[in-house]
Amino acid sequence: MCGISAYIGFREAYPIVINGLKRLEYRGYDSAGVMIYDGDQMQLSKIRGKVSDLEGVTNKDEARKKGNIGIGHTRWATHGVPNDINSHPHLSQSGDLAIVHNGIIENYDTIKKELISRGYTFKSDTDTEVLINLIEEVKINEGCKLGKAVQLALTNVVGAYAIAVFDKTKPDEIIVARLGSPIAIGVGDEFKEFFIASDASPFVEYTKNAIYLEDEEMAIIKLGKKVKVHKINDDSKVEPTVLKLQMSLDQIEKGGYDHFMLKEIHEQPKAITDTFRGRLLAEENMIRMSSIEDNLDRFLNANRIIIVACGTSWHAGLVGEYLFEDLARIPVEVEYASEFRYRNPVVTDKDVVIAISQSGETADTLAAIKLAKSNGAFVYGICNVVGSSIARETDSGAYTHAGPEIGVASTKAFTTQITVLTLIALKLGRANKSLSEEIFKNYLDKMQLIPEQVEQLLKIDEHVKSIAAVYKDAKNCLYLGRGFNFPVALEGALKLKEISYIHAEGYPAAEMKHGPIALIDENMPIFVIATNKGHYEKVVSNIQEIKARAGKIIAIVTDGDTQVRDIADHVIEIPDTEEALTPLLTTIPFQLLSYHIAVMLGKNVDQPRNLAKSVTVE
């Protein structure tokens, strides 16, 4: 949610800041703005709309682009409607200070009333304009430098933020601070230039050296000097860690695909392979995961495993519940992180909490982690982004190695999260003897085939596209699955909702008779997962019930199935595998189906309305 892109150095700032904002568009936003300092004045351009609309404004006056310092922002509205005035950057009342801000200042109204009583006026409805004027008020009253003013002001703020602040009276520095929202600092050679962004993608071609601020830290970025990091609460110094970025430019470009989502769907064979590379050792009949091996007793002796996540990651967690209980016989509960953190859950030091997040920055999941740790639980993180907050906050964990996921609708993150959960479940199942050596070996062999089978599934894209054309105008859809594939039904429905805006619901197939069957008529498409493992005959009975009510059936079946083919309106075949591994395959047709329907409807597939890739506010 929201994106920050800023530059200070010897290059022209405008193209760097604007291209950075374009790379952050995946985060979701409704307006955009940029401030360029030309050596004398701050040139401010803001607009409701896309970054391309912002370029339309700046292109009318080339002088607005000239300068070596710039801060830019993409805003996802919280306080105040999306419009030009509420867009960032915001200036202080004097016009000397500029700020961009991700997050929410919860006590902004109290601060605003106090500032109004001191003579301040406000142009926007935002909490951000309140913050920059608070910083200016502190700077004036305390007679201090900008860095100290930011630090003092933030000690009076309640909420979450990632901010970059510039003072035109001291044009060789930018102040950056973080609490709850991510911020990265790219460090140029000999400290001659610095890049500031919500993640590293805006500056990956300029430097591989990055500093990620921790919560309650601020940085003074001054040309020609090392970055100084301080704790906000007590102003104590922190020695920053400079990380080497592994990201490459080609990973964050479309690579010939029409959309990032389609590219990322097709990247799944490689992403799954990368996720189990070095971990799945079938020839040695073992799974090697040091993060599990080093904490094996905690897992094996746990009273239960609690999985906390949001959105697609929550669906992966539901698959994990089936995996852990079936393969390792360990009891599992799956919680929405947003509910877990507020419902006073019973958590003890005998519990293991697994937190799942693609970005590693999901606000509710981070809050759930802190709650679990405060109650003594061992917390294990599964995320995709190296160096993210969840990777740092958890006791141990595993990366998914999916590579950057730019499309807002998650695809390869889901399958790689399931891959990691499967590896852990298999390892624990073998360790506690729930799985025999023979069964364990069979799973390893079958799992090795999954990337090739996904590759095979991607070749039926045109068939799926033809089905999408039939149902693109549907107003409502049902997705049904049983066992391991019930969460896949939920995920399939979510994908369709996210990018096509068609109402869709996922249900356990057996629950259809407890309400949803009332919706079925000749206009209702029902997508049913009916693989030949597990509860096949039960699902066939459900399909018969749908057919008796004239519903349109689109079934995902195992290669060679004839029984469902005879009664379904459309079938999509997947390769045969073990039931526990089928979610890695059954989800692929649903991803393709949602993608094609959205494209046919003319929707913005990579940036669906109102959504953000990384939800960093409550």
Residues taking part in catalysis: 2, 613
**For residue 261, how many other CB atoms are within 10 A of its CB?**
29
Using CA atoms, how far residue 369 sits from 93, 188, 352, 353, 421, in Å, is 39, 34, 11, 8, 18
**Cα separation, 70 vs 14, whole angstroms:** 6
- Tell me which H or E stretch contains 464: helix 461-471
Coil, strand or helix: which one is 243? strand
For residue 576 the two structure tokens come to 């045969």
Residue 114: closest CA among 136, 130, 125, 129 = 130
Place of tokens 């919680």: 335
Q: What share of the chain is helix, strand, coil (3-state, %, to 5)?
A: 40, 25, 35
**Cα separation, 367 vs 144, whole angstroms:** 34
Residue 478: closest CA among 537, 553, 549, 568 = 553
Name beta bridge partners: 185.
Answer: 196, 211
Residue 471: closest CA among 549, 551, 566, 585 = 551
Rg (CA), the chain: 26
Q: 89 preceded by cis ω (within 30°)?
A: yes
Determine phi and psi for 413, rounding to 5 degrees: -65, -40
Residue 167: closest CA among 138, 147, 143, 187 = 147
Beta carbons of 20 and 197 less than 8 angstroms apart = yes
Determine phi and psi for 236, rounding to 5 degrees: -70, 150
| Cα 24 from chain centroid (whole Å) | 12
Using CA atoms, how far residue 132 sits from 122, 356, 559, in Å, is 11, 35, 61
Residue 251 DSSP class: G
